[in-house]
C-alpha cells in the first residue's frame, strides 16, 4: 500500500531528491537486514564502518556539520536526505551516532582548535565515541555524579563508574564527566574530559538487555590518567559544556529519527493494517483502526515540523526538551500500535537485525526498544521539569529532603 507522507518544506528540491534516490538505489545494501540478523560484534562493527565510509564518500555522513569540517548541507536538503534514506530502508548509523552528533557538537561548541583538528577528521575516518555521563547512584541527575578527577601535575587521575554508555565496548574515545571540586556546589564542581578508552584502568562491561542486545555498557575507571590537554572548557565548568552535548542529544539528533518515523515506521504500520488476516478481513477496514492511524500520522507530521524548525534555528529555552520528549512518546504509541495490530505473529518474531535502531521491523522488540528513548539525554521526567521551569517560567521544582 502506497502512503503519501506530507512534506514539511515547500522548497523545490526535485534535483537533489533525484540525486539521492539514484545514489540510494545504487549503494543501499539490499540484503543488510538478512546479513545483520544474528551477526557477530565484529561483523556489525565492520558493516557500520563500511556503511559510514560509503555515506562519507557521497557527502551524506555528516550533513549537519559546518562546511569547513565536511558538512554544510541546508536543513531542507538534510530533510530530503533522511527521507530518502528511510524510504530506501537504508541501515542507520548506529555505531558512530555519538561520534557524529554528541562528540562533534561538543567539540565545535566548546573544544579547543587543537581538539577539533585532532578529533573531527578522525571521526570522519571512523573513530568511535561513547558518552560517560550517567552513574549507578545518580542516573540522569548529573549534579549527583561522584566519579572523581584529581589534578596531579599534567594529568587528572579519575576514579569511579559510569553506566548506560551506548556502544562503549566498541568506542575509541569517551565524553566523560567527573567531579573535580567535591566542596563546590554540585553543578559547579564538575569538569568535562575527552577520555582515550585504551588508557590503562578503563574496564568496559556490556549489559544484557531485554531485547537480547548488549548495546549499553558499564565503564569502570580505576586510577585512569587523563592529560590536562583533554579537558574541554575550564576546570569545574563541565556542567555548562555538557549542556552542548545534551542539546544535541535532545534536539539535533531528532531530525533524522523523526523522518525515519515518518518515511519508514509509519508506512510499515499502514502496510501492516492493510494486510488481510486469516479471516480475510483487514484491520484497516475497521474505522477505529483508521482513526488511530490518522491520529498517529498527524502526530508524526507535527513532530517532523518541530524538528525541522528546531534545526533551522528557531529555538526557545526548552525546545530541545520538547522535541526529545515528544519523539519518545510518539515512538511508543506507533510501536505499541504495531505490536497490537501484529497480533500473535508480532509476539513471536523476536529476531532483530543489528544496524537497525528501534526500526527492526519486529514490532514487539521495537516497542521494548522505544522505552530506551525515555531515558538518554535526561529522562522524560527531567524533560518535563525543564519545559516547566525554562519554557513556561514556572517556579523551580522543590528539592527533596
Q: What is the per-residue pLDDT across 224-268, written as a single tens digit (0 to 9) for each? A: 999 999 999 999 999 999 988 887 767 667 888 898 899 888 999
Residues constituting the chain: 401
Asked if 192 and 175 count as a contact pair (C-beta separation under 8 A), the reply is yes
pLDDT of 8 > 80? The answer is no
Phi-psi sector, 163: left (phi>0), alpha (psi -120 to 50), beta: beta
Band of pLDDT at residue 7, cut at 50, 70 and 90: low
Q: How far is CA 26 from CA 20, 44, 83, 88, in A?
A: 10, 21, 16, 11
Angle at which helices 319-348 and 363-370 cross, to 10°:
150
Band of pLDDT at residue 5, cut at 50, 70 and 90: low
pLDDT of 14 > 90? The answer is no
Any idea which residues carry the catalytic annotation?
249
pLDDT of 88 > 50? The answer is yes
Question: Which residue in this structure is represented by grid cell 526548552?
Answer: 318
pLDDT at 251: 67
Q: pTM here?
A: 0.85
Q: Decide which of 3.40.50.300, 1.10.3720.10, 1.20.140.10, 2.40.30.40 is the CATH code for 242-392.
A: 1.20.140.10
Give the rounded percent of residues in the chain with a pLDDT score beyond 90: 59
What pLDDT digit, counting tens, does each position of 41-53 carry?
Answer: 899 999 999 999 9
Cell numbers at residue 382, please? Answer: 527531567
Q: Are 127-235 and 242-392 the same fold in CATH?
A: no
Q: Which CATH superfamily is domain 127-235 in?
A: Butyryl-CoA Dehydrogenase, subunit A, domain 2 (2.40.110.10)
Band of pLDDT at residue 314, cut at 50, 70 and 90: low
Where do runs of H (alpha helix) occur along 28-168? 32-36, 41-58, 75-87, 97-98, 104-110, 113-124
> Taking all residues of the chain, what is their mean pLDDT, rounded to a whole number?
89
Asked if 346 and 364 count as a contact pair (C-beta separation under 8 A), the reply is yes
pLDDT at 361: 77
What pLDDT digit, counting tens, does each position of 360-371 carry?
Answer: 878 998 898 888
pLDDT at 11: 57
Band of pLDDT at residue 401, cut at 50, 70 and 90: very low
Domain definitions of the chain by residue range: 13-91, 127-235, 242-392
Q: How far is CA 333 from CA 261, 341, 359, 363, in A?
A: 12, 12, 14, 11
Amino acid at each position: 500500500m502506497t502512503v503519501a507522507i506530507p512534506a514539511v518544506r515547500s522548497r523545490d528540491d526535485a534535483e537533489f531528491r533525484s540525486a539521492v534516490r539514484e545514489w540510494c538505489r545504487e549503494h543501499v545494501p539490499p540484503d543488510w537486514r538478512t546479513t545483520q540478523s544474528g551477526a557477530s560484534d565484529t561483523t556489525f562493527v565492520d558493516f557500520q564502518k563500511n556503511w559510514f565510509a560509503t555515506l562519507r564518500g557521497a557527502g551524506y555522513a555528516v550533513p549537519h556539520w559546518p562546511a569547513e569540517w565536511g558538512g554544510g548541507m541546508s536543513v531542507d536538503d538534510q530533510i530530503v536526505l533522511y527521507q530518502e534514506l528511510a524510504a530506501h530502508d537504508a541501515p542507520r548509523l548506529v555505531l558512530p551516532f555519538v561520534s557524529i552528533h554528541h562528540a562533534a557538537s561538543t567539540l565545535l561548541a566548546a573544544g579547543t582548535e587543537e581538539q577539533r583538528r585532532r578529533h573531527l577528521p578522525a571521526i570522519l575516518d571512523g573513530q568511535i565515541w561513547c558518552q560517560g555521563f550517567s552513574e549507578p547512584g545518580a542516573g540522569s541527575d548529573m549534579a549527583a555524579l561522584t566519579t572523581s578527577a584529581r589534578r596531579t601535575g599534567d594529568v587528572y587521575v579519575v576514579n569511579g563508574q559510569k553506566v548506560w554508555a551506548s556502544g562503549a565496548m566498541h568506542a575509541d574515545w569517551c565524553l566523560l564527566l567527573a567531579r573535580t571540586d567535591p566542596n563546590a556546589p554540585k553543578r559547579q564542581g564538575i569538569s568535562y574530559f575527552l577520555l582515550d578508552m585504551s588508557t590503562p584502568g578503563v574496564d568496559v562491561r556490556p549489559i544484557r538487555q531485554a531485547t537480547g542486545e548488549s548495546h549499553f555498557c558499564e565503564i569502570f575507571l580505576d586510577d585512569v590518567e587523563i592529560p590536562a590537554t583533554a579537558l574541554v572548557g575550564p576546570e569545574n565548568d563541565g556542567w555548562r559544556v555538557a549542556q552542548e552535548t545534551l542539546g544535541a542529544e535532545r534536539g539535533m539528533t531528532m531530525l533524522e529519527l523523526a523522518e525515519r518515523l515518518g518515511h519508514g515506521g509509519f508506512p510499515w504500520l499502514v502496510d501492516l493494517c492493510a494486510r488481510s488476516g486469516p479471516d480475510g478481513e483487514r484491520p484497516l477496514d475497521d474505522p477505529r483502526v483508521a482513526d488511530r492511524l490518522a491520529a498517529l500520522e498527524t502526530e508524526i507530521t507535527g513532530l517532523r515540523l518541530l524538528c525541522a524548525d528546531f534545526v533551522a534555528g528557531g529555538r526557545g529555552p526548552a525546545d530541545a526538551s520538547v522535541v526529545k520528549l515528544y519523539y519518545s512518546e510518539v515512538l511508543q504509541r506507533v510501536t505499541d500500535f504495531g505490536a497490537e495490530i501484529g497480533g500473535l505473529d508480532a509476539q513471536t518474531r523476536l529476531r532483530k537485525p543489528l544496524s537497525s535502531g528501534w526500526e527492526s521491523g519486529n514490532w514487539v522488540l521495537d516497542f521494548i526498544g522505544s522505552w530506551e528513548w525515555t531515558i538518554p539525554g535526561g529522562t522524560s521526567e527531567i524533560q518535563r521539569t525543564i519545559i516547566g521551569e525554562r519554557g513556561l517560567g514556572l517556579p523551580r521544582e522543590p528539592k527533596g529532603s
